[in-house]
Structure formats: C-alpha cells, structure tokens
Structure 1
Amino acid sequence: MNKKLLQDGKSQVKSRIAAMKSELINHRFLFLLLSVFLSTAGLKAQESIQVGSTARQMIVYAPTGIKQNRPLVISMHGMNQTMYDQKSQTQFQSVAQANNFVLVFPQSNGSQWQLWGTGDTDFILAIIDEMYKRYGIDRDRVYLSGFSMGGMMTYYAATMIADKIAAFAPVSGYLMSGPNANSSRPIPIIHVHGMDDGYVTYSNVQSHIDAWVARNGCPTPPVVTNPYPAVYTAKSIKKYYGHGKEGVEVVFIGVAGVGHWYSDNNWSADGVFTSQEIWNFCKKYSLKDGVPEFKYASVTDKNPKQIQVVLTKSVVASSFYTGFSVKIDGNAAFIDSVVVCDTNKVTVNLSQGILKENTVTLSYSNGNVVSTSLGKKMLNVTDKWVDNQLKGASPQIMEASTNVNGNALLMKFNKKMQIPADVSGVALNAQYNGPISIPVQQCSFFNNDSTTLSFSLGNQVYRDYTLSLAYSGSNILAADDGLLKAISNSPVTNYSNGLPVHVNSGRIGTDGITLSLDFSKAMALTSAQSGYFTLALNGKNVTSSGYSVINNTIQLTLSKCVHYGDSLKVSYTPKGIVAADNGLLDGFSN
C-alpha cells in the first residue's frame, strides 16, 4: 500500500474515533444486556491463541456434534468495541447453528484493527490453523466479515490474504485511504451498509464497490432490486454484479432506516438480516471452485501402456498435455503423449508396458491442464498412487478402519478379494496409556461386499485408542490371486465410540443462574438431553431454561437463581448423553 495513503487513512480513522464513541456508548447498555442473554444460550468460549509472541483473544462457537469439512466464518468487531459486542449484535450464532459451520469472533489488540503490516492478518491465519486442528474445517471455505473498522479490516485482508479466504463480507466499513482492489485473485464480495450512516458515510461506498467490480471483471450496470427484499415496503436496495472473472460476484446492499449499525434479525422494518445475507452469499464459494484436481488413476489389462487419469472437473481439450510424470517402481517412465479421453479424463500413453508386479505413481506440476468452466489451472500433485488393475497384481488397501461398535476391523480394497482361512498374519496394534492387546479373529465379507474384508476382534476398541495395522504378507489374496504385500504400522481410522465419560466437578457462576459441569472429555448435548439432569435447589427440584457446551463443560441456565448459602445438588441417571466421541456418560448423584 502507498505509504502516504496509509498515513492519510490512519489519520482519518483516528479523526472519527470521537464521533463514533458517542454512538457506540449509546448502544453499550444494549450490548451488555444481549451479551448476558446470549452467554447462557449458545456454545461459546473466550480463549487465548498464541500469534508469534502475542497472546490474542477470541470467542469460538461450534454447533454440538459438528462434523469435519464444514466452513468457518470469522466476524470482526468495530472500533472501541469488543468480540462480545460483535457476538451480540450480529446474532451470527443462530445462523451457524442452523447451517452447521464454525464461527469465531476475534478481539483486536487495543481498540483498533491493524490496517497495515501483517499483525492482524497473521491473527486471522492463526485462527484458520487452529480451527482446522480442532474441528477439521474446510480450509477452502473460510469467510471473513467485520463491522465498521472490522469491515475496514475485511477490505484490508482482501489485499493481503485473498488466497486463504474464499469470500469477503464487510459491513458498514471501507478503507478510509480510498478504494484498494489490489488482490492476488478475483474475489467475491458482499458489502452491507446502513443508508443513514453518518460516520462511515454511505455515499462513499459505491467507489469501493466500483473498484472491486472492475478488478473482478464483473458486468455493469448491476441488476438492481428495489425495494429489497421485494416483499417489503422499505427502501433497502440490492445491487448485483456478476458473474465476473473465475465466476465471482459482487453484491452491495444498502439498508434503509439504519445508521452506523448492524441490521439484525429483529430489524423488521427493512427485512435485511445482515448475518443471514452474508451466509447466503458466502456459502456459494470455495477456493477450489472450478479447479481441476486429481481424483483417481488406473491401468488395466485393456492396455498396460495407458494410464487413465480421472479429474474432478471437465478440462479444455489439448493435443498434448504437459506437466505429467510417471514412476514405475521408483524409476522415471518415458511418456509418449498425454491426451484427452473424456471431458474429465486424460490418457497418459507410456513407451513401456506396466507389469502386475509394478508399483506405479503419477505426478503433475505446472502443466497446461485448465478447467472448461472457469479456466483455472489443475492443482499440482506428487506421487499419486496408480491403481494397478492388471490380473494378479497385488491388491491395495483403500482404507483400514474400525466399525462404530469397536468390535471389527474393516479393510476396503481396490478389487474383489478372497476370504482368508488363516488370519494369523494380521495384527491390530492399540495404544492407550501403553500397548493394548487386540486379538484378530475370523474374517468375512462386510455386508456381502467382496471388496471389503471384516475381521472380528477379540477385545473391543474405543475412539480413545491409537490404532495401527501390521500384516506379514501371507494368506490374503485377491480374487485373481494377487497377494497383498506386507504392511508395517499403517494407521487405522478409528470410527468406534469413545470410552465412558464421567463428571469431574460443578460450580455456580457469579450470576447465580449458570451451572457449569466439568467432564473428563469434550461433550455433546441436544436440547432434549439438557433436561436429563436432575437439579435440586434446597431440596426442591428446579429446571433449566437453556444450555451451552464449551469443550469439556456443559453450562445449564437455571430457572431459579442460587444465592449464597443455598444447596444445589445435581444427579444424572444414564439416558444416552454422550461425549463428542460418543462415549457414554456415567451416572452420578449429588
């Protein structure tokens, strides 16, 4: 960014602090009321995360039982606000709950976001990494949003880390130094702004929208919906620009009757629920949109000199694709040609034939394969296994896993198998506070599927165990008599339920209505199950009116307030409450 523009922008931002403070203070009491209410109604946790040498703060929300490969939304607060304010005013948790995505509200250092350098963009990247470790989020579906100065930070991040964020959603904020659409790629943007905003003025938004429309190559003029939504009489307006380069869109929503504020689900006059609008727009986008990826490759008896490569997208036809390389038993093989076979398939023609004994791998690096839809380049891959389907070739294990009950080891193969009479060569190794013996017993086809062998286990395994597979290289044959090669310490995916979970302690919050129960594992809980706990206040049963789950802690909102000197006892008779790994909760009393 130009240094002078940066300095001008910083000075303009600071000049607005005094004006913005008065409006923010007027809303502070509302923020606090909302924060108290929501703190007892959602899944949340204030946490620290290390970014370089600095400990940064954030609130994390993840719906109970969320699966892997779900999106992440990061929502940033305004100047002189906090992550609690942003959580309260956006009402984003209800959207995350309904649509099953992870939500993070980060906290700035001090009162402002850093619209220069990499201090806060590094924070955003650290959040993405942490949520991937914790929840296995889909890193290609990360969406960034922010209100006021958080919106400014959203625009700044678009110029810095566009390769990490799939879509951007600024609200009531733009760069004070002027439009800057210098991103590494075309990016989808939705901007929502109050039409009566006198602090970050509404009249200046269009110049920023125009810059991104030009950068993205979106068609003009826009498609205008006025009023928006069409069923409302308010004068909110939506401008739609799309599709541009790589299929991206730009949307600008001006909200009637709203000043420097976030239009929420209770704003009935305009009909615009900003968080829902953001999700509806962002959810369409992934960093992998239109990108061809390697999916599968095989060689068959039909032509041992040909490798058929299947891709995830249709690709532009070429007389000779570049970028491919092949290894046979670790040695480079000479490629005669690579040509299109079908819309999403290419054929690699080799000078030499592949034998049943061979192990074959395929790589692709910076070639000329591009998608037909958006013209995006194929992702590079290195040493991808080629399925050797020649008669008598060694079978390959596609996945080794346990069943949910933990009493069977399943092996999924790339071809039809024989049932081995002798399973002594198969060993399942388990670790949990030391090694555990897991005898492998007889074998059968799983659900009559001859490509999957099921080995019954002498002892039950649990999700808490770390499992690996070893095989001596004898007795397991494919239907075409290909012998499975020896295996040493290959990881096994553990789908079994966890060990039982137990309660550790309980405590009442300073508000007198929040009961926190701490357990030995991360927990999962449904609304119906929150009533399975028996609560006795001074000997009389009371109920809970809400709940939340924060890692190992279940918080219950009591229907009556607990005062100093009161006696509160909690009991639970096993009724199916489980940990996040499906381990059953043990009963407890008093």
Structure 2
Amino acid sequence: MFVAALCARPALASCGAAAEACDLPSGDYHIATPDPGSSDSAEAKGTPAVVFLHGYGGSGAGVLRNRALVKGLQERGYALIAPTALPRWNGKRSWNFLPGAEGRDEAQFLQQVLGDAESRFGIDRQRVVLAGFSAGAFMVNYLACAHPGDFAAFAPVAGGFWRPRPETCAGPVRLLHTHGWADKVVPLEGRILGSSTREQDDIFAGLALWRQVNGCADDAPDRLWVTGAELHRRWDCQSGGDIELTLGPGGHRIPDTWPTRVVEWFERTPD
C-alpha cells in the first residue's frame, strides 16, 4: 500500500482546465511535472521522467497521492508519470504482465503514454525510467525482459517474476531492484498465493537471470556497500547494462529514500 501524506498537494500538470487524468484510446495516466529550474541538467533538452506503475488495486491518481514519491522526484527535476491499469476479472486494477495472457498490450500502451507525455509536457523519451511497486514491479520485470529498448532503465520495487520465470530475455538492461527484508507480501524467496497455482518466483533467482542476460562475468557482485540501514550490491556487466540490488529493513512498501536513490543510480555512468 502507498503511504500518502495528504496535508500538502504536489504541483500537478493538468491535461485540461484542472488537474485530471490524461486520456488515451487505451487508458489514461496522471502526471506531476517538476518546477521550472529544478533540473540538475539545465542544458538538457526535455524533462527526464519516471513512469511509475501502481500496485494491485491501485491507480495512477493514487500514486500521485504519495507525497514523498512526487516531491522527491520533482526536487531532482524529474516528472512522475503514473499510468492506470485496467480492471481484471474481479474488478481490481492490475497489470497484464504474464506472457500470452489476454488483455491490453501494456508495452504498446506505455509507448502511447510516453508519446503523449512528450508532446504535451516535453518529456525526454531518452531519459525515462520505468519503475513500479508490487504488481507494477512484476510488470516492470516482464517489460524489461521482452522490450529492453523501450526505456532507458528499469527500477522494480518489491516485485520480480512468476514461476516459471522466463528462460532468457531479449537483451541487457540497466536495472535497480529494491526490496524489503521483511516483505511478507512478496517474500524474497517467493510464495504460492493462497490456494492458487500461481507462484511468485525467488527474487535472487530472478537476479541470476538478469546477470545471465547482462553477461556478467561473475555471480559475485563487483561492489557491496551500506547506507544507513540499507544494503547494496552492484554488478557491472556488458556495456550499457548494470544491475543493482538494494535491501532495506522494512516490509512491503516504497522506501522514503527511493526517489533520491533511483535518480542517483540512473544518472551514474556505468563503469
């Protein structure tokens, strides 16, 4: 669940006379743009952005109620783009991430979102991170696997693959995986969902797949470090591809440190 601070409202870009969803033929999205002059790279053309996919049952509007997330990205000069998933069979909104499943083509939809955000708000499509929480993070992993060139980087929070995981992926990616050590909704080891035959995959097994796809020379990380209560591991692999893992002490949530962390990671030049 997102923890929103409702005492203050973010500065939202509006699609109409008032702040509202930006409608597209296959769905909609919300957006919060940074204040002019807040970007660290004043000479850059266009605004960098994080496309953030909400969790199960959530919405794009709900993402923008997470004040820490919105403000943290705006202060670094990034827009936050929050698409909304379509209702599933039970009426709850969720992303259509399993390969071969019927429903909206999410890769195509997100490219429509980027095209619209580029034309309306000046988003730089070459500097966009696809991120997501929980069910949104599962979507991020599957899109990174099947369409690695659609975004500059990928940053799932508390979500990986389902079992059986893909045998391989289309190409190397830049990927920052963030997870809570005490997460019981998406445990690091994976789990079976109730009486369902659906199984969440082991997060470390998913990272092993990414190391294989990225052509990492070794399973052991190239760097390990600690910041506060967070543990970090980094693998520097093929040119243009790198993997980082951040483990925090909390449960199923977006860490307050995440907005700063993802921007610093994204702007780091891979070794």
Q: TM-score range by the shorter chain?
A: 0.7 to 0.9
Structure 1 pair 98/200, CA: closer, same or farther in 2 (3 Å)? Answer: same
Name the counterpart of 2:11: 42
Give the gaps of 5 or more residues in structure 2.
Answer: 14-18, 38-43, 88-92, 190-201
SS of equivalent residue, structure 2 residue 179: strand
**Residue 57 in structure 1 maps to residue 28 in structure 2:** yes
- Partner in structure 1 of residue 123 of structure 2: 137
Tell whether the 8 Å contact from 2:52 to 2:131 is kept in structure 1 after alignment: yes
2:243 corresponds to: 250
Counterparts of 2:22 and 2:75, CA distance in 1: 27
By how many angstroms is 1:42 displaced?
Answer: 2.4
1:191 and 2:173 are equivalent in the alignment = no
SS in structure 1 opposite 2:154?
strand
Contact 2:160/2:203 (8 A) holds in 1: yes
Q: Against the structure 1 CA distance between its residues 151 and 284, is the aligned structure 2 distance closer, same or farther, given a 3 Å change threshold?
A: same
Q: Which amino acid aligns with 1:109?
A: L
Counterparts of 1:144 and 1:83, CA distance in 2: 14
Aligned to 2:266: 282
Paired position in structure 2 for 1:219: 217
Residue number among 127, 145, 155 corresponding to 2:113 in the alignment? 127
Measured in 2, the distance between the counterparts of 1:240 and 1:90 equals 29
Quick one: distance in 2 between partners of 1:69 and 1:100?
Answer: 11
The superposition leaves residues 301-342 of structure 1 with CA deviations (integer Å, 9 ceiling, x where unpaired) of xxxxxxxxxxxxxxxxxxxxxxxxxxxxxxxxxxxxxxxxxx
Give distance in 1, aligned partners of 2:224 and 2:234: 8
Distance in 2 separating the partners of 1:73 and 1:137: 10
Alignment of 1:64-463 (within 5 A): 64-65=35-36, 68-89=45-66, 91-110=68-87, 111-116=93-98, 119-180=105-166, 182-203=168-189, 204-220=202-218, 221-225=220-224, 228-229=226-227, 232=228, 234=229, 236-242=230-236, 244-256=237-249, 258-264=250-256, 273-284=257-268
Q: Aligned equivalents of 2:179 and 2:123: distance in 1?
A: 29
Instruction: Please say if residues 90 and 274 of structure 1, whose CA atoms lie closer than 8 Å, have aligned partners that are also in contact.
Output: no
- Structure with higher RCO (Cα < 8 A, 6+ apart): 2
1:260 Cα deviation from its structure 2 partner? 1.1
More strand by share: 1
Paired AA for residue 61 in structure 1: A
Residue identity matched to 2:150: K
Shift, 1:172, TM fit:
0.2
SS at match of 1:277: helix
**2: distance between equivalents of 1:276 and 1:63?**
14
**Helix, strand or coil: the match of 1:142?**
strand
Distance 1:251 1:98 in 2: 23
Amino acid across the alignment from 1:43: L
| CA contact 2:73–2:260 (8 Å) conserved in 1 | no
Q: Which runs of 4+ in 1 moved over 4 A?
A: none
1:256-292 superposed Cα distances (whole Å, 9 cap, x missing partner): 1x1111111xxxxxxxx1122112112347xxx9xxx
Normalised by the length of structure 2, the TM-score is 0.79
CA contact under 8 A between 1:46 and 1:57: conserved in structure 2?
no
Q: Is the 8 A contact 2:73 2:259 kept in 1?
A: no
Q: CA RMSD in A?
A: 2.5
Displacement of 1:212 in angstroms is 0.2
For the structure 1 residues 178 and 171, does the alpha-carbon distance in structure 2 shift closer, same or farther, using more than 3 Å as the test? farther
How has the CA–CA distance of structure 1 residues 263 and 141 changed in structure 2, closer, same or farther, with 3 Å as cutoff? same
The Cα of 1:181 is off from its aligned counterpart by 6.7
Q: Conserved in 2, the CA contact under 8 Å of 1:171 and 1:192?
A: yes
Q: Is the 8 A contact 2:161 2:203 kept in 1?
A: no
Larger radius of gyration: 1
TM-score (norm 1): 0.38
Q: Residue type matched to 1:76 in 2?
A: L
- Asked if structure 2 preserves the Cα contact closer than 8 Å seen for 1:225 and 1:239, the reply is yes
Identity between Structure 1 and Structure 2 (%): 21
Deviation at 1:151, TM superposition (A): 0.2
CA distance in 2, matches of 1:247, 1:46: 37
TM superposition shift of 1:224: 5.0
Structure 2 letter corresponding to 1:37: C
- Describe the SS at the equivalent of 1:141: strand
Q: Which residue of 2 aligns with 1:342?
A: none
Does the Cα contact within 8 Å between 2:10 and 2:70 map onto a contact in 1? Answer: no
Over 3 Å counting, the alpha-carbon distance change for 1:96 and 1:275 in structure 2 is closer
Instruction: Give the unaligned 5+ runs of structure 1.
Output: 1-23, 265-272, 290-372, 374-590
Aligned length: 238
Question: Deviation of residue 156 (structure 1)?
Answer: 1.2
In structure 1, C-alpha distance between the alignment counterparts of 2:56 and 2:241, rounded to whole Å: 30
